Amino acid sequence: MDDVKILQALAEPTRLAIVQQLASDGEVCACDFTDCCGVSQPTVSHHLKVLREAGVVSSERRGTWIYYQLEPKAAARLANLGHLLSAGAQRTQARGHETHARSKMRPVTEVTLRLRGLA
């Protein structure tokens, strides 16, 4: 699964709104996306095509209607990416606290050395 394609597909506000509705409702008829997104049916169709080609959604025809749902593999990959980013941010934050604590100590050490005539 190509992470870049998934992220590019989700980087557009209308497509993100479509995916959020699918995440909330589980399955949505193509005709119902115009309400959530405030765009015309041809525009919705274009966005659904982009999401389908990126592997984010899948569809099923039922008579004249097409129903869409999130693709489980894409949802799992996005969850994994979110987990990796969150873990990285937590490590960075922990290092930041450590660095911040050390930076607070440095001025005291320099001042102490100056007072003692060692600096």
The residue that leads in pLDDT, 32 or 119, is: 32
The residue that leads in pLDDT, 115 or 74, is: 74
Residues 49-93: tens digit of each pLDDT: 999 999 999 999 999 999 999 999 998 998 888 888 888 777 777
The confidence band for 20, taking pLDDT boundaries of 50, 70 and 90, is very high
Q: From residue 58, how far is each of 16, 71, 101 by CA, in Å?
A: 15, 6, 50
Distance of CA 28 to the CA centre of its chain: 21
Contact criterion met (CB below 8 Å) for 58 and 19: no
> Count H helices, E strands: the chain?
5, 3
The confidence band for 32, taking pLDDT boundaries of 50, 70 and 90, is confident
The whole-angstrom separation of Cα 35 and Cα 18 is 10
The whole-angstrom separation of Cα 99 and Cα 105 is 10
